[in-house]
């Protein structure tokens, strides 16, 4: 934990946001996401005294697990994955009220047992409790869980009251526009939209939230955040790992579904949206939807605004790695893209003529996520390149991961008797200023859901608008099979097709 004396900016920043007595039910309690993210997030909220005094954690899954064994599984997950070491006193406050209910996802009887268990918790608490259902399962069981939450009455608990039941649902929110609409219809059949929290963990990252602060709390940025001053925007979400053990999932998903439609597009919406009238959740989400609706359809065919590729064998971290088609569980005829890049145009007054370049992929040169705002170059009347001056375009970059912070590229004079220039970088890093033990994204998002703050969650119409943009691309690629599929070497920054998207407008990808 950061020392306030060493990091004085931390003083006074911790604020307890009280929540009513709450039961968090995790469906898929024995899954990887629960162990790596959810249980550590809840533990750290407890460590920071941000959980209500009457807080209960209930795991639900097919496999029968005794309460004591589930507590042991949870404590081991904290030891392995938490940003803090396991503190006995902090864990006891959470672990004492941690239980488990077994049952199938497609049988109402298990949900009736869960309802009885929550009712017993209420009797012990001596009053009504808020229930937060976290669906951390494969998409194949989303619908039966939602249906049985409705059939058992769990979805309508204390409806109309401030502590009504809520549901958090993990991505993917469908596979295309049709399935996204069907999932939303299923959710609406049980829950009101105000009860639904569609989670994209990228929105809980500190730098993503800081993007809003930089734009709207600093008067030096917003006046120039438009087509008059910005030349292009580049958004990169790069992974240096391959598919690993996720071949079964990834073959059904691909890069566009896995990263572009959600994480990358969320970053674009926050970058391009108009200032909301307030920091109210609906005001902010309204502006995000407006931006997505303003994006022009993506050109396909010979003059395509989209590129896709698969990685082939190469070097990563000094070691040789196989290509995608040689990975375990991948068909040698696979047409699943491991890289996707697109040139998007936002057809509104602020952004007309400014290209937004987005890319994401596996087995790239390094793991990094960033938003880079490249400003127009100044007129070359004084410091012209032909006169030997080395000038770079001013670029403001927000690094989302792994080294959270932001930097600005400026041009400066090199000391000496001659007038020579050189680009320099001004940087701010969260770890340096605030300490390295910043909260994980899931901590913020779980707390927001408990307190009823939907600002960092995705609304149903927003998910559908995003799928409306990308579904034609998916359908076109599917119709082409492996036609048009490029290759890129593992450890590189992607295929030539991604470079051509920028070269057509006189731009090049920056190296994060």
Q: State the pLDDT at residue 387.
A: 65
Q: Which residue spans within 79-218 are E strands per DSSP?
A: 98-102, 130-135, 166-170, 196-199
Alpha helices, DSSP H only, in 379-459?
A: 430-434, 441-451
Tens of pLDDT, residue by residue, the chain (512 residues): 444 444 444 443 334 456 889 999 999 999 999 999 999 999 999 999 999 989 999 999 999 999 999 999 999 999 999 999 999 999 999 999 999 999 999 999 999 999 999 999 999 999 999 999 999 999 999 999 999 999 999 999 888 887 889 999 998 899 999 999 999 999 999 999 999 999 999 898 888 888 999 999 999 999 999 999 999 999 999 999 999 888 888 999 999 999 999 999 999 999 999 999 988 899 999 999 999 999 999 999 888 999 999 999 999 888 999 999 999 999 999 999 999 999 999 999 999 999 999 999 999 999 999 999 999 987 766 776 666 677 788 999 999 988 889 999 998 888 888 887 788 999 988 888 887 677 889 999 999 999 999 999 999 999 999 999 999 999 999 999 999 999 999 999 999 999 999 999 999 999 88
How many Å apart are CA 168 and CA 181, to the nearest integer? 17
Check: CB of residue 27 under 8 Å from CB of residue 136.
yes
Residues marked active site are found at 263
Q: What does the angle CA 420 – CA 424 – CA 429 come to, to the nearest 5 degrees?
A: 170
Q: What does the angle CA 265 – CA 266 – CA 267 come to, to the nearest 5 degrees?
A: 90
Count the neighbouring beta carbons within 10 Å of the beta carbon of residue 501: 21
Q: Distances in Å between the alpha carbon of 366 and those of 240, 370, 456, 490? A: 5, 12, 27, 10
Check: CB of residue 476 under 8 Å from CB of residue 300.
yes
CA 422 from centroid of its chain's CA atoms: 36
How many Å apart are CA 124 and CA 23, to the nearest integer? 12
Side-chain-facing half-sphere of 308: CA atoms under 13 Å: 23
How many Å apart are CA 174 and CA 159, to the nearest integer? 27
Q: Distances in Å between the alpha carbon of 265 and those of 2, 157, 178? A: 33, 34, 19
How many Å apart are CA 84 and CA 417, to the nearest integer? 53
How many Å apart are CA 185 and CA 177, to the nearest integer? 12
Q: Which residue spans within 294-366 are E strands per DSSP?
A: 306-312, 314-316, 319-321, 339-345, 355-361
Q: Distances in Å between the alpha carbon of 306 and those of 235, 238, 262, 365? A: 14, 17, 17, 21
Angle between helix axes 265-272 and 460-480 (nearest 10 degrees) is 130
Nearest in space to 202 (alpha carbons), one of 262, 142, 151 = 262
Nearest in space to 373 (alpha carbons), one of 225, 181, 157 = 225
Q: State the pLDDT at residue 377.
A: 85
**b vs e for 83-97, b when ≥16 Cβ sit within 10 Å of the residue's Cβ?**
beebeeebbebbbeb
Nearest in space to 490 (alpha carbons), one of 359, 345, 317, 246 = 317
DSSP assignment of 441-479 equals HHHHHHHHHHHT--TTSB-HHHHHHHHHHHHHHHHHHHH
Q: Distances in Å between the alpha carbon of 362 and those of 234, 268, 342, 405, 490? A: 18, 20, 16, 23, 8
Q: What does the angle CA 67 – CA 70 – CA 72 come to, to the nearest 5 degrees?
A: 110
DSSP assignment of 151-176 equals HTTGGGTTTTSTT--EEEEESP--SS
pLDDT in tens, 70-117: 999 999 999 999 999 999 999 999 999 999 999 999 999 999 999 999
Sheet of 405-413: strand order equals: 421-429, 405-413, 395-401, 368-375, 230-238, 355-361, 339-345, 306-312, 486-489
Check: CB of residue 494 under 8 Å from CB of residue 502.
no
Q: Distances in Å between the alpha carbon of 299 and those of 219, 252, 341? A: 36, 24, 13
Q: At 240, which helix (H) or strand (E)? A: none
Q: Domains in the chain, please, with CATH? A: 8-170 (3.40.50.720), 203-503 (3.30.360.10)
How many Å apart are CA 194 and CA 164, to the nearest integer? 10
pLDDT in tens, 382-438: 776 666 677 788 999 999 988 889 999 998 888 888 887 788 999 988 888 887 677
Handedness of CA 282, 287, 292, 294 (dihedral sign): positive
Instruction: Please state the φ and ψ torsions of residue 247, each to the nearest 5 degrees.
Output: -55, -45
- pTM, 2 dp: 0.92
């Amino acid at each position: 934990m950061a020392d306030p004396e060493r990091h004085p900016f931390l003083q006074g920043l911790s604020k307890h946001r009280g929540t009513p007595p709450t039961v968090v039910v995790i469906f898929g309690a024995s899954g990887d996401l629960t162990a790596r993210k959810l249980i550590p997030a809840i533990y750290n909220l407890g460590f920071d005294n941000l959980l209500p005094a009457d807080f209960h954690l209930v795991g639900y899954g097919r496999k029968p697990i005794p309460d004591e064994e589930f507590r042991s599984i949870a404590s081991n997950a904290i030891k392995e994955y938490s940003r803090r070491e396991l503190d006995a006193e902090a864990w006891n406050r959470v672990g004492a009220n941690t239980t488990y209910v077994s049952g199938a996802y497609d049988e109402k009887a298990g949900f009736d047992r869960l309802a009885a268990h929550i009712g017993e918790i209420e009797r012990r608490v001596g009053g009504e409790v808020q229930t937060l259902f976290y669906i951390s399962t494969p998409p194949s069981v989303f619908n039966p869980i939602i249906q049985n939450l409705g059939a058992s009455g769990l979805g309508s608990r204390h409806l109309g009251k401030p502590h009504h039941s809520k549901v958090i649902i993990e991505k993917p929110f469908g596979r295309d526009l049709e399935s996204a609409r069907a999932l939303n219809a299923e959710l609406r059949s049980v829950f009101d939209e105000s009860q639904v929290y569609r989670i994209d963990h990228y929105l809980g990252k500190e730098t993503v939230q800081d993007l809003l602060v930089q734009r709207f709390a600093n008067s030096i940025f917003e006046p120039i955040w438009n087509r008059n001053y910005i030349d292009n925007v580049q958004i990169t979400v790069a992974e240096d790992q391959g598919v690993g053990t996720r071949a079964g999932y990834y073959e059904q998903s691909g890069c566009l579904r896995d990263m572009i439609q959600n994480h990358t597009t969320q970053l674009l919406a926050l970058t391009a949206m108009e200032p909301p009238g307030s920091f109210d959740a609906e005001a902010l989400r309204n502006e995000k939807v407006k931006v997505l609706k303003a994006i022009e359809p993506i050109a396909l065919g010979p003059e395509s605004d989209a590129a896709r590729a698969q990685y082939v064998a190469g070097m990563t971290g000094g070691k040789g790695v196989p290509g995608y088609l040689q990975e375990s569980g991948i068909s040698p005829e696979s047409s699943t893209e491991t890289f996707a890049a697109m040139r998007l145009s936002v057809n509104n007054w602020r952004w007309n003529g400014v290209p937004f370049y987005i890319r994401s992929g596996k087995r790239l040169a390094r793991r990094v996520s960033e938003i880079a705002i490249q400003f127009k170059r100044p007129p070359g009347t004084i410091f012209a390149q032909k006169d030997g001056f080395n000038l770079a375009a001013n670029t403001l970059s927000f690094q989302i991961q792994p080294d959270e912070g932001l930097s600005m590229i400026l041009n400066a004079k090199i000391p000496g008797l001659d007038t020579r220039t050189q680009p320099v970088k001004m940087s701010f890093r969260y770890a340096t200023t605030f300490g390295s033990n910043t909260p994980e994204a899931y901590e913020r998002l779980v707390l927001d859901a408990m307190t009823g703050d939907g600002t960092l969650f995705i609304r149903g119409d927003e998910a559908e608008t995003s799928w409306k943009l990308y579904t034609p691309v998916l359908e076109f690629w599917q119709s082409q099979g492996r036609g048009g599929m490029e290759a890129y070497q593992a450890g590189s920054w992607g295929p030539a097709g991604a470079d051509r998207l920028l070269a057509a407008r006189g731009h090049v990808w920056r190296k994060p």
